[in-house]
């Protein structure tokens, strides 16, 4: 009976979500053109601002980073095939944006698809998500392993050096993916070659110092905020983790993803990715329809809602307590019976 009920629930969710799936090419083109144009104007304004004072450059870094993040969200929709009706066009646009975001498109698309297919499944962790251990797994680690995990889960690493390391270094050579992923590896080399070309052009035009002074703060802001956004979308106290035999896709999407409530201008700049439970329930829904889905379907308003402040409070969480079915802190884990 449980299996039959789950099948019925899955069909019901599919019926609810289906009308919102698929791209509106005209709307996608307008969004892409507007976002890319403003990003380019802001970036070159930062170059110009170096003549005025670096204080102005740093001020301009914030909106520039915001629009780079918005471009990443467009790349994200391209990877899911929800942004253009033509998959070939979506892949080409995604690959170009991937150069700007330092993210090899086909590599990211494959690992991110793995994340969507297995989010909340304890037996399928490792690609495209924030590493999360159970209390039992953490305790089984040697001292050095526990220290390494505690360092990894610290906000300084996750949202600071970790983000920079991921986008600047690991994306240049993602050593943890199989060599058999030919398309993913090609995207890595193509992206690296394009970046080398951009650096060469910068050397002969604005200079490498100006490139670093301009794009350095933009990269730092984008990676820090971007990783934090991804973190709070799944890392909260009552999130969803089950072993594969008890794991359900729509349950994991609805109860293992948050609805991050943001001010309107932040909703817009992040392309509504905070409505993450709906995105996980159907990645075929483009970003510009996510809010409409929630507004028109009360049953989708039951997801865990969090604010920016709530998201900050989740930073203490680090381990999955299988007995109590919730994410806990290292301090709380000391009180869990062995």
Q: What residues pair up with 134 in beta bridges, in sequence order?
A: 320
Name the pLDDT band for 69 (thresholds 50, 70, 90): very high
pTM listed for this prediction:
0.93
Strand runs (DSSP E) across the chain, as ranges? 133-134, 258-260, 304-306, 317-321, 326-329
Residue 11, C-beta contacts closer than 8 angstroms, at least 6 positions apart: none
For 10, the token pair is 């899955």
Mean pLDDT score, 115-121: 93
Strand 326-329 and strand 317-321: the pairing is antiparallel
pLDDT in tens, 205-243: 999 999 999 999 999 999 999 999 999 999 999 999 999
CA atoms within 13 A on the CB side of 333: 20
- Residues 252 and 240: beta-carbon distance below 8 Å: yes
**pLDDT for the residue numbered 125:** 87
Token representation of residue 86: 């033509």
Domain boundaries, the chain: 2-333
The per-residue pLDDT for 218 is: 97
Mean pLDDT of 295-312: 93
Q: How confident is the model at residue 10 (pLDDT cuts 50, 70, 90)?
A: confident
pLDDT at 1: 44
Query: In the prediction, which pLDDT does 127 show?
Result: 76
Q: How many CB atoms lie within 10 A of CB 11?
A: 10
* Measured CA angle at 37 (ends 31, 43), to 5 deg: 130
Predicted pLDDT of residue 338:
73
pLDDT for 4 equals: 66
How do strand 317-321 and strand 133-134 relate by DSSP bridges? parallel
Q: How many residues does the chain have?
A: 338
Would you place residue 3 in the very low, low, confident or very high pLDDT band (cuts 50, 70, 90)?
Answer: low
pLDDT at 141: 96
Looking at residue 2, what is its pLDDT?
Answer: 66
Whole-Å CA distances, 161 to 46, 165, 183, 297: 24, 6, 28, 40
- Whether 307 has a pLDDT exceeding 90, the answer reads yes
Mean pLDDT along residues 80-105: 97
Over the chain, what is the mean pLDDT? 94
Given a cut of 80, whether residue 328 has pLDDT beyond it is yes
Instruction: Report d(CA 59, CA 259) in Å as an integer.
Output: 29
């Amino acid at each position: 009976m449980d299996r039959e009920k789950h099948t019925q629930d899955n069909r019901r969710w599919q019926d609810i979500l289906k009308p919102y799936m698929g791209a509106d090419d005209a709307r996608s083109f307008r969004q892409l053109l507007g976002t890319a144009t403003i990003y380019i104007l802001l970036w070159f304004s930062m170059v110009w601002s170096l003549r005025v004072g670096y204080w102005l450059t740093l001020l301009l870094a914030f909106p520039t980073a915001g629009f780079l993040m918005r471009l990443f969200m467009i790349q994200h929709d391209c990877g899911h095939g929800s942004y253009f009706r033509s998959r070939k066009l979506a892949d080409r646009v995604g690959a170009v944006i991937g150069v700007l975001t330092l993210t090899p498109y086909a590599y990211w698309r494959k690992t991110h698809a793995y994340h969507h297919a297995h989010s909340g499944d304890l037996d399928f962790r490792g690609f495209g998500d924030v590493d999360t251990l159970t209390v039992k797994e953490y305790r089984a680690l040697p001292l050095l392993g526990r220290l390494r995990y505690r360092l990894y889960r610290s906000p300084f690493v996750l949202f600071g050096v970790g983000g920079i390391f991921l986008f600047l270094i690991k994306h240049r050579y993602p050593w943890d993916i199989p060599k058999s992923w030919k398309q993913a590896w090609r995207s890595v080399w193509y992206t690296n070659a394009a970046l080398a070309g951009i650096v060469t052009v910068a050397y002969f035009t604005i200079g490498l110092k100006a490139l670093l002074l301009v794009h350095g703060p933009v990269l730092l802001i984008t990676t820090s905020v971007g990783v934090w956004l991804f973190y709070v979308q799944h890392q909260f106290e009552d999130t969803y983790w089950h072993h594969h035999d008890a794991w359900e896709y729509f349950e994991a999407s609805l109860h293992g993803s948050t609805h991050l409530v943001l001010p309107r201008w932040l909703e817009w700049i992040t392309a509504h990715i905070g409505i993450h439970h709906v995105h996980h329930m159907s990645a075929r829904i483009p970003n510009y329809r996510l809010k409409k889905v929630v507004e028109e379907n009360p049953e989708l308003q039951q997801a865990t809602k969090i604010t920016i402040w709530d998201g900050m409070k989740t930073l203490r969480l680090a381990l999955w307590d299988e007995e109590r079915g919730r994410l806990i802190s290292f301090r709380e884990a000391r009180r869990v019976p062995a």
